[in-house]
Amino acid sequence: MEAKIKQKPEDFLVKEVSSVNLDDEGDYSVFRLRKKDYTTERAVQRIAKALNIDRKRIGYAGSKDKRAVTEQSISLRHANKEKTEVLNLKDIELEFLGYSKEPISLGDLEGNRFEIVVRNITESPVCLKRIVNYFGEQRFSTNNAEVGKAIVKKDFEKAVDRMLVHIGEDEKKVIAHLKKHRNDFVGALKRIPWKILKLYVHAYQSRLWNMTAKEYLNPKIKNKAGPRIEDQLEIFKIKLPLIGFASEIQDKDVKQIVEKVMQNEEIDYNDFVIRAIPDLSSAGDERSLYTDVKDLVIGELEPDELNKGKKKIKLTFSLGKGGYATEVVKAMFG
């Protein structure tokens, strides 16, 4: 049997290590958001609705897991501090921290601290200080990458179709738009909050990165992807591209792998220019091939009350921004 995580939200605790500087005054009120069983974006939408304010007035540094208990900083522009603190929302708590002169934006964090209960096991995991920096499963959800690819390929009808596998409040707006404007799939997509739409494109870029990394580390590829792990420690410093329209790849071996991946996916760099929805265009970026697992503490094996005859164990560790704890667990338990 495989190791299990997130059998209940309390098994997966995430605390953001924020890089936001607090002031005694400013246009932005900063709160600690503690949530359970919400994605960050859905929680923020819920808060905006409860306060009757525009969603765009709320900022955050990064998306946190849904099936988990998470803590992170959010900023509200021109917020009513007293009204915000006393909001009574199920599984959402807000604590005032101070003010900021700037909103919290994507990337305004140093990393995250995790406390994870791993269940359904029989022995302790191996101790790892570094793992391949793969994007974790929660990045992709059910079909985020498929929606993203359809957007990149300009197949907006397919993007809407894949998006409507699950129907939430935003998806209901898409359906309502299509009832009035039957074939306006671009207009229908625009009914989705911009951050969520962007997430779909990012999910596809993430899947391409994972493909590139696996190919790069494939031991069958000889003399085509730089130094092997056992040959040279320099590999730990390598970055691989998150493909976008402005990607410029200097390493000819990496470029060869990237273009093989794109050929298999039937895409090109310029496909990431999305003229129908310009805000979704993506220039691309880079991501380190490896990430460090910091301050790792492995607890003692204990009886697992949720899985008869099995054990559970608590892991505590920190990752830099963009790192996925699920990938750490996967690597530690093989």
Confidence category of residue 231, pLDDT binned at 50, 70, 90: very low
pLDDT tens-digit readout, 128-153: 999 999 999 888 888 999 999 999 99
- Same-domain status, 215 and 153: yes
**Is 169 buried (19+), middle (13-18) or exposed (0-12) by CB count in 10 A?**
exposed
- Same-domain status, 168 and 72: no
Query: Radius of gyration (Cα) for the chain, nearest Å?
Result: 21
Domain boundary (89, 107, 125) is at 107
- Same-domain status, 101 and 159: no
The more confidently predicted of residues 232 and 250 is: 250
pLDDT tens-digit readout, 10-31: 999 999 999 999 999 999 999 9
Q: Identify the pLDDT of residue 226.
A: 47
Interval 116-129 mean pLDDT: 96
Domain boundary (86, 107, 128) is at 107
Q: Identify the pLDDT of residue 224.
A: 45
Full 3-state SS string of 112-143 = EEEEEEEEEECCCCCCCCEEECCCCHHHCCCC
Q: Is residue 314 a part of any domain in this protein?
A: no
DSSP element (H, E) containing 258: helix 252-265
- Same-domain status, 100 and 142: no
pLDDT tens-digit readout, 78-111: 988 888 988 999 999 999 999 999 999 988 999 9
Q: How far from the centroid of its chain's Cα atoms is residue 110's Cα?
A: 15
Q: Is residue 69 a part of any domain in this protein?
A: yes
- Same-domain status, 69 and 146: no
- Same-domain status, 279 and 158: yes
pLDDT tens-digit readout, 166-181: 888 889 999 999 999 9
Buried b (16+ CB within 10 A) or exposed e, 99-130: bbeebbeeebbebbbbbbbbbbbeebbeeeee
Structure tokens at 253: 């071996």
Q: Tell me the catalytic residues.
A: 65
Give, as one character, the DSSP assignment of residue 103: -
Angle, alpha carbons 284-147-217 (nearest 5°):
50
Whole-number Å distance between alpha carbons of 325 and 3: 14
pTM: 0.89
Q: Identify the pLDDT of residue 223.
A: 46
Q: Identify the pLDDT of residue 128.
A: 94
- Length, in residues, of the chain: 334
pLDDT of 215 above 80: yes
Domain carrying residue 185? 137-290
Q: Identify the pLDDT of residue 234.
A: 65
Q: Is residue 6 a part of any domain in this protein?
A: no
CB 79 within 8 A of CB 85: no
CATH number for the domain including 97?
Answer: 3.30.70.3160
Whole-number Å distance between alpha carbons of 121 and 125: 9
- Same-domain status, 95 and 159: no
pLDDT of 227 above 50: no
- Same-domain status, 192 and 100: no
Q: Is residue 26 a part of any domain in this protein?
A: yes
**Pairing between strand 28-36 and 92-100?**
antiparallel
The number of folded domains in the chain is: 2
Q: Is residue 163 a part of any domain in this protein?
A: yes
Confidence category of residue 291, pLDDT binned at 50, 70, 90: very high
- Same-domain status, 162 and 248: yes
